Chains A and B, each alone.
Chain A
Amino acid sequence: AAMSRKGMKLLVDSLTRSAKHFNKSEVECLVKLFDTLVAKACREYAGAGFDRTVFRDTLHSALGMMDEVVLDRVFSIFDGDNDGCITVVEWVEGLAVLLRGTLEEKMKLCFTVYDLNGDGYISKEEMFQMLKNSLLIQPADEEPDEGVKDLVEIALKKMASTCLFVAFLLQDHDHDGKLSFTDFEKAVRDENLLLEAFGPCLPDIK
């Protein structure tokens, strides 16, 4: 889409401010990249943005992210207004978190990715969905899903341990089997490796 020089400058300025983690020239590059992607996409959105497929392919080829479920989730997070189309603002701000985000922002991103139904908790079922393909070797003599279920329990125990204990003290059984954002945050602060506990959703920066 052709944009006046002045319009471009304004856009870049405002994005640099809102996306925080990029400097002007970086924002400019990203906007240019956005333009090429839009050009590649079908004309459905009339140049305002691009769709899921383009997004997925781009993230896959540029950042090496592979998991389809995760990519879908990341797309929905980028697509703040849920219209199936990534605009330039959504693009730059989304990437800012994905590439340069603080631990805080990344935790939020990951949690949202894992919270498949968006109810504010990661439930056992959601964990199961995320982890179901994670066992390369199935224990021979067990039910096929048994291993994954076990792993879900382990993860839940690991990440919700303190809160479960509090819940136990308060006789609060509602907490059972779910992971709130507080749990998640605490666990990750304790052990950064757990940021992507249920599957890779951030690009590997190497």
Chain B
Amino acid sequence: MGVTLARAAQWTAAGSGTGTLEITPLNESLLNQIIKFAEDFSTKHPQEAAYVFREPLEWKTQLDSSAFGEGYEINEATVQSEAKHKDGQPLLVLSASTLRVRSFDQLSRLLRIAMEKKLKEAQACLEANRDPIVKILGPEYGTIEGEDTSILHLFDKVKKESDLEAELKMKIILLLHQLDLQLLNSSLKQISQDVRLNPAAVNNEVNLLRNFSGQGEDTVLESLEYTSDYIFSNGCRAPPWRQVHGEICYLVIKPHDTDPLYITCSTAGVFLNGGQLKGKDIDYERKSDLYKDIITFLRERSPRFVENMAKQGYHFSKEPAHKKNYQHVEDAEISDQSQSFYDFTENRRRGKVCGRGKSSSAGSPDERSKLCMKWESSGLSASQSRDKAPKKNFEEEGKHSTVPVTTKKKASGQSKMVKIKKASKCKASSSLEDLGESSSDTDEDEQPVRRQEGNTDLSAEYWGIQKLAKYVKGGDPTATVIALCSMRDFNLSQETCQLAIRDTGCLEVLINLLDTEEIKCQAGSLKILKEISQNILIRHAIADLGGLEIMVKILDSVDTNLKCLAAETIANVARFKRARKTVRQHGGIKKLVELLDCVSVGTSYQGKDIETARCGALALWSCSKSTKNKKAIRTAGGIPLLARWLKCPHANILIPVVGTLQECASEPSYRLAIRTEGMIENLVKNLSSEHEELQMHCASAIFKCAEDEETRDLVREHEGLQPLSDLLDNSENKQLLAAVTGAIWKCAISRENVLKFQEYKTVETLVTLLTDQPEEVLINVIGALGECCQEQENRGAIRRCGGIAPLVKLLTATNQALLVNVNKAVGGCAMEPENMLIIDSLDGVRLLWSLLKNPNPDVQASAAWALCPCVENAKNSGEMVRSFVGGLELIVNLLKSKDKEVLTSVCAAIANIAKDEENLAVMTDHGVVPLLSRLANTNNNKLRRHLAEAIANCCMWGNNRVAFGESKAVAPLARYLKSKDPLVHRATALALYQLSEDPNNCVIMHENGVVKLLLAMVGSTDDTLQEAAAGCIANIRRLALATEKAKYG
């Protein structure tokens, strides 16, 4: 019982405390079983019934004394049972509506007395006693979550002391266990019957109802609104703490004839909630029964809804009716198939007769009939799907003549959709094994949207295509080719036609045709598939029907034209992950790469070769969006071929080639190859092409490749910086602009390139692009400006062109990648005192500071870095920093971050802030000393350097020097001197010099052997290092002398 109550029963408030049992069908049946158990207990097990509970079960009852009769002593409002325990306590006591019961016997009697209030009493009892077994048998029998040791416990006891009580307890506990098992079983049955709603189902239903809602007499509802527009990633709209209870979303429904209804949709069903409270809150308590969906709920609540719904001609199908409907569809299909099988056998017979008739006149009959057979075998697959859709409709029409035709067509269409979905789902799950498939890379992976097959009137195109489909399915190659060619006269770029081809079952036939040996039919079919695969639904359908596998096979064909068509179609279909994987797994990548390898010799390109290579490259481009395919292209030897075609002057082949390259450039191996195979030169050359698309892909390839320093140099050496800079003038094509600014950004990481850009006045142009640009352009523009800030002249240029204000304004952006770049650029600008004046006047430092609160560590780090020059260069910076309420505490607390870069940047910022004594005092109060000391044990030289600087500057307050010694920062610092980085030496020497003012620190330093290392540094050419080292040695020496003097003096 314990287990069931804890797990299966539905409590309103999760967690501990006094929850209440909800009135759900499940709970009700559980309670009824418990009542039956308790009621029959005294008759079935009289001995056990007499057992006195360890503690009484106690609850607030609704029974009053008048209900009790024989066997009870009634004294006004209090009732006592005549039956008493050994110690004289009555086994049942009722006083002031509190009931205490101490045996099953009394419990049984009580339930009988309670009559129709039984259920209420049992509920109250269980609510008040969440674990009744503990009260009945004692705390050692409690069910601990997850394990039930009560029986074992009892066994132990029985073994030790075999008394009557233990035996009784044993029996009771066994009985209770039995009950528990029984309850769990029945609740399981209940649960499995439950309608489990999900967000998608609810959403579909809401959308459906919305179509029929609005003002006016005939609508089913006035309105239907979600209470919240925000959708969590799991599709729920309920806040997370309510999702725990299975709630999905809340709706406000205004029917025509009742008050607004506030309902909750949960996984268990739909119910009325307490409505909207003041403000935005909702009273989540359930106020009605559960319904399996919104429509069922509304049918109970609003008569007008039912009435108007009927007017809409919408066919309400209850669950069983629905199933039946589906059955019909299936039946229809099966009969259809057997029919076509009959057709086929019939056909084959006829075919054979023909064959024989002919063979008498012309030679080698064997060969001929073989050819016949080949054709027929394709005819078989074709005929199977013959005229499926329309037949289905007719079948249905015959079966329910009462329902209007339109709704039925819809139904059949939908059931088909469902099937396709199912199929694709299966495949999706099977692809789980392929976890390596890059889910992280940039690939746009499309999902077919499930759309309402809205218009039920079939278009003229549909009938036209259906007529032709008949000949495609049932004709010999000649007839098929005529029909296929004629089909291409329809506007196949139009969705109606694309879907008509699918819905007439023609798509299957087209794919089956690919599997024949008739080149003309294959070509005709591919020409259609190539067009209609522009449609996402068709693409998925082709993949589902196994079209990709066959097309990959066609890539081996001797007919070049056919290969091209197949490659082009693959290029269209392979726009989603599963398709790309199919191509790879069937060896398609290698074959596609081979298409690029059709150049015979030298540089003279044949038209045919270019076309073949173009189609191959198109397909590779689509496929290259998956990481594994990138690798496959490389291992198939694709890179040198791509490099060869890159030298070709024709834009139509260059676009897919460069497209593939830039897609693959996300892989380091490709970047290396692009650099070493001399492709940068050609990429740079094509930046000056007339085709914007080609320019864009070239720029985008450079963008990705220029992560590597050598590539950046190559771009400069091939004079690619000027064309990049020139392309900024074309600011209308945003995709091109994004790619170009990206390339400039990455190239500007090299200082020589920045100098070149300076020559081309690139900074001035970039500043004009700071406003009214899409985010992907802005990110790159600002990234580029940030890099250009390396040069003082550019920092001035940004100011002169009015670039600082828009930059500071962007500190309030939300895109994190953008923020990182903005921070960097603002920080770069802040290195100029003149710029700093402007930044300060725009409140830029405050904005930067508040970005320390951003959850993204990259943003935090870049903001902290940017703060360094700000604090250094702002006038009255100490004053300014203090004016940020809570600012110092915020930055000190960032020393607890786990991100190395954040730590480093914050140390650098603290080193700057600590130069102001008052601020240092505040930071000391916030515990900067122990936090810095904690970081001391690190091997990261960059962090060491800035940490040492921070420690050096933090020594200037109070007894911080002593504190650093106490928090064990000195010994690790001493070790920094062994680092190879001179910048670390300098900062460390400064810190040690400061710390050596404290004698204890000197001792530690001496113990760690700093003197020898410092002595070497005294000879450094770096004045600061020299002085600090010398100062530190002097302090240590002075201490030693003083000690000697004290000892011997």
Contacts and interface: CB of A to CB of B under 8 A. Distances in A.
A28 B793 CA distance: 83
B379 interface: yes
Contact of A66 (B362, B470, B482, B484): B362
Interface stretch (A6-14, A88-96, A198-206): A198-206
Contacts of A136: 347, 351, 376, 379, 474-476
Contact of A60 (B362, B379, B486): B362
Contact of A57 (B362, B483, B484): B362
A139 interface: yes
A158 B485 contact: yes
Interface in B932-958: none
A56 interface: yes
B343 interface: yes
Contacts of A131: 478-479, 482
Interface string A130-146: 11011111110000000
Which interface class (under 10, 10 to 19, 20 to 34, 35 or more) fits A?
35 or more
Contacts of B484: 193
Contacts of B367: 64
A193 B483 CA distance: 11
Which of B358, B476, B485 gathers the greatest number of chain A CB atoms within 10 Å?
A: B485
Interface in A22-59: 56-57
A194 to B, nearest CB: 6
Interface residues of B, number: 41
A154 B480 CA distance: 11
B595 interface: no
A114 B473 CA distance: 24
B498 interface: no
B520 interface: yes
Which of A161, A193, A196, A199 gathers the greatest number of chain B CB atoms within 10 Å?
A: A193
B482 A154 contact: yes
B570 to A, nearest CB: 20
Contact of A204 (B383, B471, B488, B519): B519
B524 interface: yes
Interface string A155-170: 1011001000000000
A83 interface: no
A54 to B, nearest CB: 11
A35 to B, nearest CB: 20
A10 B892 CA distance: 104
B520 A196 contact: yes
Given A139-B470, A157-B486, A198 B478 contact: yes
A99 B214 CA distance: 71
B478 A196 contact: yes
Contacts of A60: 362-364
Interface in A102-151: 130-131, 133-139, 147, 150-151
B481 A193 contact: yes
A130 B842 CA distance: 86
A194 B523 CA distance: 11
B930 interface: no
Contact of B363 (A61, A139, A154, A155): A61
A161 B490 CA distance: 13
B310 interface: no
Contact of A137 (B474, B486, B489): B474
B423 interface: no
A15 interface: no
Nearest to B558: A206
Nearest to B376: A136
Contacts of B482: 131, 151, 154-155, 158, 194, 197
Contacts of B379: 136-137
Interface string B473-511: 111111101111110110000000000000000000000
Contact of A191 (B376, B476, B479, B485): B485
B523 to A, nearest CB: 6
A135 B479 contact: yes
Interface string B947-978: 00000000000000000000000000000000
A174 interface: no
Contact of A154 (B354, B468, B527): B468
Contacts of B558: 206
B584 interface: no
Nearest to A127: B482
Nearest to B383: A137
Contacts of B347: 136-137
Contacts of B476: 133-136
A54 B470 CA distance: 39
Which of A61, A135, A137, A147 gathers the greatest number of chain B CB atoms within 10 Å?
A: A137
Contacts of B478: 130-131, 134, 196-200
Contact of B475 (A66, A130, A135, A194): A135
A198 B478 CA distance: 6
B328 interface: no
Contacts of B647: none
A193 B475 contact: no
A150 B471 CA distance: 10
A158 to B, nearest CB: 5
B880 interface: no
Contacts of A66: 358, 362, 368, 371
B361 interface: yes
A200 B480 CA distance: 12
Contacts of A57: 362-363
Contacts of A64: 367, 371
Interface string B374-396: 00100100010010000000000
A151 B472 CA distance: 11
Interface string B334-370: 0000000001000100010010001001111001100
Contacts of A68: 358, 361-362
Nearest to A71: B362
Nearest to B477: A200
B568 to A, nearest CB: 16
A197 B479 CA distance: 8
A158 B486 CA distance: 6
Contacts of B371: 64, 66
5 contacts: A137-B474, A139-B470, A154-B482, A191-B488, A200-B477
Given A151-B479, A196-B481, 10 more contacts: A64-B367, A66-B368, A68-B361, A131-B478, A136-B474, A137-B379, A155-B482, A193-B484, A197-B485, A198-B478
Interface of A: 56-57, 60-61, 64, 66, 68, 71, 130-131, 133-139, 147, 150-151, 154-155, 157-158, 161, 191, 193-194, 196-200, 204, 206
